[in-house]
Structure 1
Amino acid sequence: MQNNNIIKGQGAQRNVINRFDRFTFEPEDDDFETIKTTFTEIFPKTIVNKVKSEDLPMEYSMNPYQGCEHGCSYCFARPTHEYWGYSAGIDFERKIMVKKNAPELLEKLFRKKGHSPAPILLSGNTDCYQPAERQFEITRKLLQVCLDYRHPVNVLTKNALVLRDLDILKPMAEQNLVSVSLSIPTINEELRRKMEPRTSSSKNKLKAVEILSDNGIPTHVMVAPIIPGLNSDEPLTILKAISDAGANSFGYTLVRLNDTVEPVFIKWIETAFPDKAQRVLNLIRSMRGGKLGDKRLFDRHIGEGNIAEMIHNTFKIGKKKYFEGKEFPKLSTDGFTGAKEQQLRLF
């Protein structure tokens, strides 16, 4: 049974209290339906971040936007919005900051004497191809800078809008400079519309994997997050579908609800799936030592208990059945044109 009071097109159903604020303002219930997305241009001093977590595979990331319109209630990045004075709830989806000077900052980094190239993850916090990208094209400009300097980049997105930039991605792939990861946690379209309401449809994401693969662009799929009781029955179906579409590899994560993600998710699932809510929350707790979140390095990716073990075993079966012999290429840094060569190109 679905609650008719759910706010369509949003994951968060309310704002949640910013843990850094002493006071908070909560609009009337009817006001949440009419909140419009706003965009604020910001001008940071840097765009590439060093990834410090030892249990993450990337060394660097860059995010052209802060906040994300896609509306996934479980998004681990929601609490980062609180550092800007906003809520991890509806604010995260409706108050988007646009890093207008990101391409210039990236070029400045590449031209810096002594810069040592290593693959950069484009996204990692909020989606670089969220709907705002249609208007601002920051991601496209960043990719063009990477192509100009022959610098490797890994793209992670939930949006088939990535296909717009095939004209840049294809020549990058020919030089082994790019890969694209699509996040596909479900191919049940009814569930997708509730889990990630403003992302591309499951069909379009699978089609994007196929088109990218056909154009020689290495593709990876994140089947993430797995939420027991919602999409935990889908891994084998998804792995077959993405393998058939041409994906080179896949990854997955188990849902964890840290900090202010927890109240956002609880409100969402109680509204979207009132008949399943308590069972799903209890299943998550069974994987997280009785809690809904987990911040322990390495352990946070594994979980514990029978449910977590069953999920891991299912993916092992799927890998052997659908991805045996497939490999994901390592991107090249050999062609990087740094400050010296770029200076010569000016003349």
Structure 2
Amino acid sequence: MTGTLILGIETSCDETAASIVGREASGAPAILSNVVLSQVEEHAAFGGVVPEIAARAHVEALDGIVRAAMADAGVDFGDLSAVAATAGPGLVGGLIVGAMTGKAIAAARSLPFIAVNHLEGHALTPRLTDRLAYPYLLLLVSGGHSQILLVRALGDYERWGTTIDDALGEAFDKTAKLLRLPHPGGPNVERAAAGGDPKRFALPRPLKGEARLDFSFSGLKTAVRLAAEAASPLSNQDIADLCASFQAAAADSLGDRIGRALTRFRESFPGLADPVLAVAGGVAANRTIRAALEAETAKAGVRLIAPPPALCTDNAAMIAYAGLERFEAGFLDGLDAPVRSRWPLDEKSQPLVGFGRRGAKA
């Protein structure tokens, strides 16, 4: 292990997390600890994440989570090279808790501070897990984001597609809430779909066949609601069939978008020896979604890389690793670095939705 050790802090939504990441003498990154405390039980009664409850839970837990990460790694604050914390995008209350904690540690120990974009943490995770070389194509599918990004280099990202309404994970969660499945919605929709008929309900495949690479899932969610109302009162089998039909439609739509993106990727880098599609975000753990991605990458002759589920969902190891790359490149931030509830990874692209006082949503 080299002398470079980064403490990463992640509090952008409903996971309170801290991690220590360093680099081995061979150049390979190493996760020395990765502690994640989920708030699922705190939000279960509300059917989704309540920002005020999430922020309060971060305040109560974060100091202990940081201590646990340091103890698991067997290091002390004096061993650290820098502190990295998620500064956006996310729920602003949680972001403030994590960023201020990171800044306080950095100030007390005279350490550099690095404000990390949560999306960059996801984007660089394949380099942490697989030492993937630049460039590569990234599909980010989570509760808050659905994007296709070209990752050219550290800090150099080009957005090829994004959602024009709901993110895919959000559509899963809202479908679960509509069908009165428990929180978290995504895994419970997949669980119910396992016993359902994916062909029973004829649901739309949003944007399928269009040249643009953007996503849309709001209409699909509405179609599920109308189908549920028509079939009401719903039996357990009706719910299973609706979940299976929704999941199949979402995977079909996503597969079409990715197939077109892979064609563009191959054409953009014709001499690339090892073209890769990396996938990140919690929705990447869905087996039907994963099968659709495997089919499209096999067809395009592109390798699919999906980090382990624990590193696909929100965690601090990805924040620490993004901090490690930024530290090594000399990209440091002052203690006055702001938190940003909206912070697109590719700030050069034109915003599609939600542009206002807080900036572009996507």
In the superposition, the TM-score normalised over structure 2's length comes to 0.30
Decide which structure has greater helix share: 2
Decide which structure has greater strand share: 2
In the superposition, the TM-score normalised over structure 1's length comes to 0.31
